[in-house]
């Protein structure tokens, strides 16, 4: 909506808007529409969550000791001990002390996390990272388990629905299946008599 | 001695082959000459064909009996071979290559006994011994159901043939040293010279090998199209005992890693550790889903696959760790027997798949599902999550190899990967652990859900809020601010959900106990004991759940761990958490088997001395290797874990690494509770009281069954 000075600059005629386009009318309409109100609330909630997530993610991010600890736990010692860099406990380990010093120097310089990781990967190879990255084929490491979760969840729901729709076993002559309130009544009776 | 051992192994192989082949022939002839139906018996026997059928039947029965006895004799032969190997270890018979590589003269007695499972060949012999022992028990108990047991015996013999072939032709434990006999052996790996290592492998192997028994019964039942669910009832106790052994083995391994490796942790996501976790996860899923088959005749196909997967994963784990295909810090890697395992895995898979597709029509479900909110649904989701966790671990274990094949370079898949992927799934599983047991079979009403969950949910929320608002100085798990770190968020969630599970389990005991108490006038606790005794499986299962969440609380403590490393001369101080350590002295010592260096550290808390700790570092003479022996001071709140890392080469001062590991004791306590729960679940149910009409003058009526 063009209004005020910008509207004047464009040489448009300024006048009072039709009633159905006035802000107070629009606001009243929006408030009266539950779907739009819900959408607005959802948007606000999403923004709040995003803001909170950003705040949480940034808490402590600038502290060098925290960063050293965090990045050091995302890397492996390359001496073959198969331990996290900051957990490598060999006295006389040919690698871990040097790697820790390098990491401390990089953090003190203010290098970003990705820059530190890149320089370590270049120097020691991709096995220096304790977990696959979120790039290229490595992404598959993370995608596949969650894809399996969603696929499995869908399969279970389908199985449940298929089993629900399965026809009930046929009853002998003279018997009729029990449904609804009558069935609930029998269930209550059974629970009362057997409940422990 | 070596010749006798080799002969025993060869005899065992021959007996196993006989058990397998004679068992198959006997079963084929029994199937072709069934017992005539009642009416036709006399007339059938009167004809020449009838006589032939009778003769065949009797012959096949006798043949089957000889196969059974050969199976029992296999145990005797393998047992003899194992005893001989242990005797060789005690006699320091270094003419046997295995004894030379895994023992030495000064090795203490218990570790000489443990030599049996300390190396590749010995551990395969031990595996074979346990399999033969399970087979021995199974074949003695054959009268429970002779035909089904005969099938299971044949399957078991098939697996036994594989292991005995390995021992005879690929990894012979009695192989003789070439050239002159050395005066002393190389010694046992120092990391294995720890009391728990004497029991950890047997427990783990009892679990691994034990799952062969349910698999053998399942495959037997599938092949013979066994009617009903009786095989499930027969194998229920086997499965639970096996599961308990595997649980015990996995956690003993974790405790050993914690107490010996000296890096301050108990689980490193090494392929060997993963190999033990995978069958545990599918085995746990099977223990749950099998109830669906017993109670509702559902999930028959799924259970077949689960029990097969559990057996298969136990073998796959062994393949992974012994083939060298995936690098591991464990010592079994890089051997030639990987190919043998690969072929065995392929053959077992093919055999199972063939029989499954041949006879799957026999495995149709008997009932329909009535509601999404029911015990049945919760079991389905529970199984999904267990299998998914297993898949995640399998995927993570194999991903370095897959990455190498696809993009030409290996990647590391360590703890950060599993924390990101497995923890969310584990938390979902924890929710189901809370919800599942309170759902009724077939259908649960919303009112009942509300009634059962309102108080436990409020309790869990209250605990979460309490943990967030309390000051941090109260202890490790207090003052938890989930927004500070994702690990704190996971910890808070894990603890809150654990509380939810504990409260739902407690409410189950309370409500059941209240009903019995009302009917019998007993005290509340006595009523709960009686309640448990009436349905040991259900309430034993709840105790296991309680143990599991205690373990989870222990895991949640990992988010608060701290560590510090410092060089400490006499009188030097180190502060970590609420503790102050002062180095009183450091010294060294010499024993026949090893030389050691150690520090003496006084521990102060709140200005008061509370302990003196002595972390040690040993140098084993035979193997020329060093090993740390951390000193651990455990409390409910945290473990103070001290490692003597070595001496500074310049000034000779000891370097001490101190870890403050939160809530670790909860893990070991939880395992004990899980084992107690399993034992309770194994106890037979008390008979349900019989309902009799109560005389009018009596105020209390007897309680009906459970």
B691-705, pLDDT tens digit by residue?
555 555 444 444 333
Distance from CA of B462 to the nearest CA of A (A): 22
A175 located within any domain: no
Q: Does A130 contact B657 at a Cβ distance shorter than 8 Å?
A: no
Local confidence band at A80 (pLDDT 50, 70, 90 cut-offs): confident
Domain boundary residue among A109, A131, A153? A131
Mutation site, A49, A78, A133, A145, interface B, largest B CB count within 10 A: A145
Q: Are residues A42 and A94 in the same domain?
A: no
**pLDDT for residue B642 is more than 90:** yes
Which whole number is the average pLDDT over B281-290? Answer: 92
CA end-to-end span of chain B, whole Å?
58
Which whole number is the average pLDDT over B337-366? Answer: 86
Using CA coordinates, name the residue in chain B closest to A74.
B416
Mutation site, B260, B285, B369, B539, interface A, largest A CB count within 10 A: B369
Q: Does B368 contact A168 at a Cβ distance shorter than 8 Å?
A: yes
How many other CB atoms are found less than 10 A from the CB of residue B139? 23
Q: Are residues A90 and A42 in the same domain?
A: no
CB of B71 within 8 A of CB of B15?
A: yes
Which whole number is the average pLDDT over A53-81? Answer: 71
Using CA coordinates, name the residue in chain B closest to A59.
B484
Determine the number of helices (DSSP H) and then strands (DSSP E) in chain A. Answer: 8, 0
Q: Which residues of B touch A130 (CB under 8 A)?
A: 412, 414-417
Residue range(s) defining the domain that contains residue A27: 17-58
Q: Which residues of B touch A190 (CB under 8 A)?
A: none
Virtual CA dihedral for B404, B407, B412, B415, nearest 10 degrees? -120
A186 located within any domain: no
Distance from CA of B337 to the nearest CA of A (A): 23
Q: Does B425 contact A84 at a Cβ distance shorter than 8 Å?
A: no
Ranked by mean pLDDT, which of B603-607, B648-652, B686-690 comes out on top?
A: B603-607
Q: Does B413 contact A55 at a Cβ distance shorter than 8 Å?
A: no
Mutation site, A51, A88, A131, interface B, largest B CB count within 10 A: A131
Q: Write the residue in B368, B395, B413 that is nearest to A163 by C-beta.
A: B368
Q: Which residues of B touch A150 (CB under 8 A)?
A: none
Local confidence band at A16 (pLDDT 50, 70, 90 cut-offs): very low
CB of B560 within 8 A of CB of B477?
A: yes
Q: Write the residue in A89, A153, A165 that is nearest to B643 by C-beta.
A: A89
Local confidence band at B334 (pLDDT 50, 70, 90 cut-offs): low
Which whole number is the average pLDDT over B75-98? Answer: 91
Local confidence band at B153 (pLDDT 50, 70, 90 cut-offs): very high
Q: Write the residue in B411, B483, B535 that is nearest to A59 by C-beta.
A: B483
Which whole number is the average pLDDT over B376-380? Answer: 84
Which whole number is the average pLDDT over B526-551? Answer: 91
**pLDDT for residue B561 is more than 90:** no
Q: Which residues of A touch B380 (CB under 8 A)?
A: 156, 159-160
Q: What is the pLDDT of residue A18?
A: 46
Q: What is the pLDDT of residue B145?
A: 83
> How confident is the prediction for chain A on average, in pLDDT?
71
Q: Does A128 contact B412 at a Cβ distance shorter than 8 Å?
A: yes
Q: Write the residue in B265, B367, B484 that is nearest to A60 by C-beta.
A: B484
Using CA coordinates, name the residue in chain A closest to B371.
A164
Q: Are residues A106 and A123 in the same domain?
A: yes
Tally A–B CB contacts below 8 A. 140
Distance from CA of A128 to the nearest CA of B (A): 7
Q: Which of A112-126, B324-338, B381-395 has the lowest mean pLDDT?
A: B324-338
Which whole number is the average pLDDT over B26-43? Answer: 62
Mutation site, B384, B411, B535, interface A, largest A CB count within 10 A: B411
A5 vs B509, more confident: B509
Which whole number is the average pLDDT over B652-681? Answer: 92
Q: What is the pLDDT of residue A177?
A: 63
Which whole number is the average pLDDT over B126-144? Answer: 91
Using CA coordinates, name the residue in chain B closest to A136.
B407
Local confidence band at B680 (pLDDT 50, 70, 90 cut-offs): very high
Number of structural domains found in chain A: 3
A182 located within any domain: no
Mutation site, B381, B416, B507, B559, interface A, largest A CB count within 10 A: B416
Q: Write the residue in A130, A137, A148 that is nearest to B388 by C-beta.
A: A148
A92 located within any domain: yes
Q: Which residues of A touch B646 (CB under 8 A)?
A: 91-92
Mutation site, B417, B642, B704, interface A, largest A CB count within 10 A: B417
**pLDDT for residue B209 is more than 80:** yes
How far apart CA A150 and CA A127 sit, in angstroms, is 30
How far apart CA B415 and CA B559 sit, in angstroms, is 13
Nearest one of A98, A77, A99 to A89, comparing CA atoms: A77
Q: Does A131 contact B413 at a Cβ distance shorter than 8 Å?
A: yes
Q: Write the residue in A56, A87, A145 that is nearest to B392 by C-beta.
A: A145
A114 located within any domain: yes
Residue B388's Cβ-count burial label (10 Å; 0-12, 13-18, 19+) is buried
Helix or strand or coil: residue B576? Answer: strand
Q: Write the residue in A92, A144, A152 that is nearest to B395 by C-beta.
A: A144
Q: Which residues of A touch B401 (CB under 8 A)?
A: none
* pTM, to two decimals: 0.82
CB of B212 within 8 A of CB of B156?
A: yes
Q: What is the pLDDT of residue B692?
A: 55
Q: Write the residue in A59, A132, A169 that is nearest to B411 by C-beta.
A: A132
Report residue B545 as tokens. 């759940």
How many other CB atoms are found less than 10 A from the CB of residue A33? 12
**pLDDT for residue A90 is more than 80:** no
B424 vs A191, more confident: B424
Mutation site, B190, B326, B401, B415, interface A, largest A CB count within 10 A: B415
CB of A131 within 8 A of CB of B420?
A: yes
Using CA coordinates, name the residue in chain A closest to B488.
A56
Query: Phi-psi category of B532—alpha, beta or left, where left has phi over 0 and alpha has psi -120 to 50?
Result: alpha
CB of B24 within 8 A of CB of B154?
A: yes
Helix (H) or strand (E) holding B510: helix B486-520
Q: Does A130 contact B377 at a Cβ distance shorter than 8 Å?
A: no
Helix or strand or coil: residue A13? Answer: coil
Look at strands B631-634 and B625-629 and give their pairing. Answer: unpaired
Domain boundary residue among A76, A106, A131? A131
Q: Write the residue in A76, A91, A136 that is nearest to B412 by C-beta.
A: A76
Which whole number is the average pLDDT over B544-553? Answer: 94
Which whole number is the average pLDDT over B146-175? Answer: 91
- Side-chain half-sphere CA neighbours of A151 within 13 A: 9
Look at strands B573-576 and B594-605 and give their pairing. Answer: unpaired
Q: Find residue A84's DSSP bridge partners.
A: A76
How far apart CA B289 and CA B211 sit, in angstroms, is 16
Q: Does B416 contact A130 at a Cβ distance shorter than 8 Å?
A: yes
Q: Write the residue in A92, A130, A191 that is nearest to B412 by C-beta.
A: A130
Which whole number is the average pLDDT over A171-190? Answer: 67
How far apart CA B187 and CA B208 sit, in angstroms, is 27
**pLDDT for residue B628 is more than 50:** yes
Which whole number is the average pLDDT over A101-114? Answer: 88
Q: Are residues A114 and A71 in the same domain?
A: yes
A34 located within any domain: yes
| Residue B578 CA: distances (Å) to CA of B18, B571, B575, B608 | 66, 19, 8, 11
B458-498 tens-digit pLDDT: 999 999 999 888 887 777 777 778 887 788 889 999 999 99
Lookup result for tokens 């443990």: B114
Q: What is the pLDDT of residue B35?
A: 55
**pLDDT for residue A61 is more than 60:** no
Distance from CA of A37 to the nearest CA of B (A): 29
**pLDDT for residue B25 is more than 60:** yes
CB of B676 within 8 A of CB of B651?
A: no
Distance from CA of A159 to the nearest CA of B (A): 9
Q: What is the pLDDT of residue B280?
A: 94
Q: Which of B104-118, B431-445, B600-614 has the lowest mean pLDDT?
A: B431-445
Local confidence band at B79 (pLDDT 50, 70, 90 cut-offs): very high
> Which residues are CB-neighbours of A92 under 8 A, at least 6 positions away?
B646
**pLDDT for residue B120 is more than 80:** yes
Whichever domain contains A126, its CATH number is: 1.10.8.640
Q: Does B395 contact A168 at a Cβ distance shorter than 8 Å?
A: no
Q: Does A152 contact B388 at a Cβ distance shorter than 8 Å?
A: yes
How far apart CA B243 and CA B631 sit, in angstroms, is 31
Q: Which residues of A touch B429 (CB under 8 A)?
A: none
Q: Which of B15-24, B335-344, B414-423, B503-512 has the lowest mean pLDDT?
A: B335-344
Q: Which of A100-109, B273-282, B311-320, B328-337 has the lowest mean pLDDT?
A: B328-337
Whether the predicted interface score ipTM is above 0.85? no
Distance from CA of B407 to the nearest CA of A (A): 7
Q: Write the residue in A92, A160, A193 that is nearest to B704 by C-beta.
A: A193
Using CA coordinates, name the residue in chain B closest to A142.
B421
Distance from CA of A125 to the nearest CA of B (A): 9
Ranked by mean pLDDT, which of B486-490, B646-650, B680-684 comes out on top?
A: B680-684
- Side-chain half-sphere CA neighbours of B590 within 13 A: 1
Local confidence band at A6 (pLDDT 50, 70, 90 cut-offs): very low
Q: Does B415 contact A130 at a Cβ distance shorter than 8 Å?
A: yes
Distance from CA of B375 to the nearest CA of A (A): 12
Q: What is the pLDDT of residue A93?
A: 75
A180 located within any domain: no
Report residue B661 as tokens. 């590991």
Q: What is the pLDDT of residue B610?
A: 93
**pLDDT for residue A56 is more than 60:** no
How many other CB atoms are found less than 10 A from the CB of residue B25? 15
**pLDDT for residue B502 is more than 90:** yes
Q: What is the pLDDT of residue A70?
A: 83
Q: Does A164 contact B368 at a Cβ distance shorter than 8 Å?
A: yes
A51 located within any domain: yes
B653 vs B132, more confident: B132
């Amino acid at each position: 909506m063009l209004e005020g000075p910008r509207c004047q600059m464009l040489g448009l005629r300024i006048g009072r808007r039709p009633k159905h386009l006035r802000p107070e009318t629009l606001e009243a309409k929006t408030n009266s529409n539950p779907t739009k109100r819900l959408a607005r609330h959802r948007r606000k909630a999403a923004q709040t969550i995003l803001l909170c997530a950003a705040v949480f993610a940034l808490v402590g991010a600038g502290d060098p000791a925290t960063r050293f600890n965090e990045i050091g736990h995302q890397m492996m010692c390359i001496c073959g001990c198969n331990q996290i860099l900051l957990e490598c406990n060999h006295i006389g380990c040919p690698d871990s002390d040097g790697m820790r010093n390098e990491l401390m120097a990089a953090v003190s310089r203010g290098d970003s996390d990705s820059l530190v990781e890149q320089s370590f990967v270049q120097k020691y190879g991709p096995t220096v990272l304790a977990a696959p990255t979120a790039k290229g084929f490595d992404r598959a490491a993370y995608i596949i388990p969650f894809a399996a979760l969603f696929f499995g969840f869908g399969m279970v729901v389908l199985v449940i629905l298929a089993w629900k729709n399965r026809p009930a076993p046929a009853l002998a002559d003279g018997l009729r299946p029990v449904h609804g309130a009558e069935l609930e009544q029998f269930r209550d009776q059974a629970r009362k008599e057997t409940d422990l | 001695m070596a010749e006798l051992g080799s002969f025993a192994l060869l005899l065992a192989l021959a007996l196993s082959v006989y058990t397998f082949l004679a068992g198959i022939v006997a079963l084929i002839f029994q199937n072709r000459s069934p017992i005539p139906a009642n009416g036709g018996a006399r007339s059938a026997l009167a004809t020449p064909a009838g006589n032939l059928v009778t003769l065949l039947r009797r012959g096949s029965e006798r043949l089957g009996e000889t196969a059974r006895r050969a199976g029992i004799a296999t145990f005797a032969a393998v047992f003899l071979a194992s005893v001989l190997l242990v005797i060789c270890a005690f006699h320091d018979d270094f003419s046997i290559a295995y004894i030379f590589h895994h023992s030495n003269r000064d090795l203490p007695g218990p570790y000489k006994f443990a030599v049996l499972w300390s190396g590749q060949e010995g551990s395969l012999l031990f595996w074979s011994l346990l399999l033969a022992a399970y087979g021995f028990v199974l074949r003695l108990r054959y009268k429970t159901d002779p035909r089904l047991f005969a099938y299971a015996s044949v399957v078991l013999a098939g697996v036994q043939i594989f292991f005995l072939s390995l021992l005879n032709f690929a990894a012979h434990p009695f192989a003789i040293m070439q050239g002159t006999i050395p005066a002393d052996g190389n010694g046992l790996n120092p990391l294995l010279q720890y009391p728990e290592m004497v029991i950890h492998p047997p427990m783990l192997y009892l679990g691994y090998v034990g799952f062969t028994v349910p698999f053998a019964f399942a495959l037997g039942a599938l092949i013979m199209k066994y009617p009903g669910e009786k095989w499930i009832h027969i194998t229920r106790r086997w499965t639970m005992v096996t599961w308990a052994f595997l649980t015990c083995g996995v956690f003993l391994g974790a405790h050993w890693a914690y107490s010996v490796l000296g890096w301050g942790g108990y689980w490193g996501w090494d392929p060997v550790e993963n190999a033990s976790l995978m069958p545990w996860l599918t085995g746990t899923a099977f223990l749950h889903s099998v109830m669906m088959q017993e109670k509702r005749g559902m999930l028959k196909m799924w259970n077949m696959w689960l029990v097969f997967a559990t057996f298969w994963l136990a073998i796959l784990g062994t393949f992974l760790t012994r083939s060298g295909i995936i690098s591991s810090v464990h010592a079994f890697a890089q051997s030639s027997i990987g190919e043998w395992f690969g072929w065995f895995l392929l053959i077992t898979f093919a055999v199972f798949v063939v029989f499954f597709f041949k006879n799957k029509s026999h495995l149709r479900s008997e009932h329909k599902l009535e509601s999404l909110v029911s015990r049945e649904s919760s079991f389905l989701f529970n199984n999904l999550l267990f299998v998914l966790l297993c898949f995640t671990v399998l995927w993570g274990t194999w991903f370095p190899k897959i990455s190498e094949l696809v993009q030409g370079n290996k990647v590391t898949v360590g703890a950060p990967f599993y924390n990101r992927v497995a923890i969310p799934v584990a938390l979902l599983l924890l929710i189901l652990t809370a919800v599942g047991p309170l759902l009724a079979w077939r259908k649960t009403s919303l009112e009942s859900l509300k009634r059962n969950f309102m108080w436990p949910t409020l309790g869990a929320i209250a605990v979460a809020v309490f943990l967030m608002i309390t000051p941090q100085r109260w202890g490790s798990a207090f003052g938890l601010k989930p927004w500070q770190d994702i690990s704190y968020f996971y910890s808070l969630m894990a603890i809150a959900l654990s509380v939810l599970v504990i409260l739902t389990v407690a409410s189950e005991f309370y409500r059941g106990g209240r009903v019995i108490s009302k009917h019998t006038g007993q005290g509340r606790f006595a009523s709960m004991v009686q309640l448990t005794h009436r349905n040991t499986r259900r309430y034993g299962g709840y105790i296991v759940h309680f143990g599991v969440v205690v373990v989870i609380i222990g895991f949640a403590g990992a988010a608060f761990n701290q560590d510090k490393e410092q060089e400490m001369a006499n009188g030097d101080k180190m502060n970590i958490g609420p503790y102050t350590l002062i180095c009183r002295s450091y010294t060294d010592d010499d024993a026949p088997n090893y030389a050691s260096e150690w520090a003496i550290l006084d521990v102060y808390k709140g200005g008061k001395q509370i302990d003196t700790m002595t972390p040690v570092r040993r140098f084993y003479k035979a193997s020329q290797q060093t090993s740390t022996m951390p000193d651990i001071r455990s409390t409910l709140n945290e473990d103070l874990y001290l490692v003597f890392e070595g001496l500074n080469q310049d000034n000779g001062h000891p370097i001490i690494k101190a870890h403050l590991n939160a809530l670790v004791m909860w893990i070991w306590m939880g395992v004990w509770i899980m084992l107690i729960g399993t034992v309770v679940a194994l106890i037979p149910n008390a008979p349900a009281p019989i309902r009799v009409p109560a005389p009018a003058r009596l105020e209390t009526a007897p309680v009906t069954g459970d």
